[in-house]
Structure 1
Amino acid sequence: MLQVAPAKPDYMIERKAREERRKMEEKLAKEEEKKDKELKQKIKQTEEKLQRRRVRRLPATLLLCSRVC
């Protein structure tokens, strides 16, 4: 006689689907957080570069102003 495995109840299928959806959402959230962190780091580095340029150019600007004025 052939035995057939009983079908899973709907609540078990729904629970598994919720768990998989939660895992995917967590994974996406981690990736988003990582991208945000990288972007903030790039912004910070760019601001530091610009700040260094401003500091280097500032004395030359002051010299020009003193000659003109």
Structure 2
Amino acid sequence: YRGVVYWLMGQFEEAWPYLNESLAMTQTLGDEWGQVQSLGFMGMIAQAQGDHDRAYHYLSDSLARSR
């Protein structure tokens, strides 16, 4: 949740390490919903930073896993 808090505060660079850690943990645990959430937040941060290609990658992956 720390990554989400940093995202909400607009501190995007600080959020990345926590979201990457969250994604890695959810992958290890096989937690699909956790992966969907992590990837979604990563996509929103990339979009806020103006990196639309990266945002598209994360958000597309999040959407695919949510189905």
Q: Same fold (TM over 0.5)?
A: no
Q: TM-score with structure 2 length normalisation?
A: 0.32
Q: TM-score with structure 1 length normalisation?
A: 0.31
Q: Larger Cα Rg: Structure 1 or Structure 2? A: 1
